Amino acid sequence: MANNKVAETVKNIAEPIAREQGIELVDVEFVREGKDRYLRVYIDKDGGVTLDDCEAVSKPLSDKLDELDPIPQSYILEVSSPGVERPFKTGRDFERAMGENVRIKFYKAIDGSKTIEGILEEYDGETVTIITDNEERKTYQLKDVSKIHRIIVF
């Protein structure tokens, strides 16, 4: 089974389990690293993810995966927070980051640069708007964006 197909299958299994716990399923990856395969399930919730949250999803998910056995290979299951500077994957990611510093990477240079940073001001599913350091309001089409993630500024 292809890695993307495995991830999609597991996502469909994990989503209701996470939702039952009041937790958002952010992403699922099935990757090979060296000789091992990892099934990584990323979860999030307002206020951040605790070890108890990871366990609350991991145990029932592991039991369900054992029952259904959708993955023919052996693998290591990891359930964790995706991290503060993770790429945005869902509309909820954008909502949570409103008013915060973000870095946008483009597929090809726009205005002479492949990256820009600013404060996330708007997101509508097709465009994203930021306010740059020099107070410029910039709007970009998501189809031109390869990655957006929160950045920590000290």
The pLDDT, as a whole number, for residue 153 is 78
- The pLDDT assigned to 1 comes to 58
The confidence score (pLDDT) of residue 85 equals 82
> Residue 46 is encoded by which pair of tokens?
């307002």
User: Would you identify the CATH topology of the domain 3-80?
Assistant: GMP Synthetase; Chain A, domain 3 (3.30.300)
Does the pLDDT value for residue 91 go beyond 80?
A: yes
pLDDT of residue 3: 76
26: pLDDT strictly greater than 70: yes
The residues near 41 (Cβ < 8 Å, ≥ 6 apart) are 10, 14, 25, 27, 28, 57, 58, 61, 77, 78, 79, 80
CA dist., res. 89 & res. 99, Å (int): 18
**21-50: average pLDDT:** 93
Residue type, 28: V
Q: What is the pLDDT of residue 43?
A: 94
pLDDT tens across 66-84, in order?
A: 999 999 999 999 999 988 7
CA 150/CA 11 separation, integer angstroms:
24
Amino acid at 85: E
* Topology (CATH level 3) of domain 91-150: SH3 type barrels. (2.30.30)
Read off the pLDDT band of 21 (50, 70, 90): very high
Share of the chain above pLDDT 90, in %: 80
CA distance linking residue 78 with residue 138, whole number of Å: 38
pLDDT tens-place string over residues 114-129? 999 999 999 999 999 9
What's the pLDDT score for residue 154? Answer: 77
pLDDT the model gives residue 83:
83
Q: Tokens at residue 136, please? A: 């410029």
* Domain edges within the chain: 3-80, 91-150
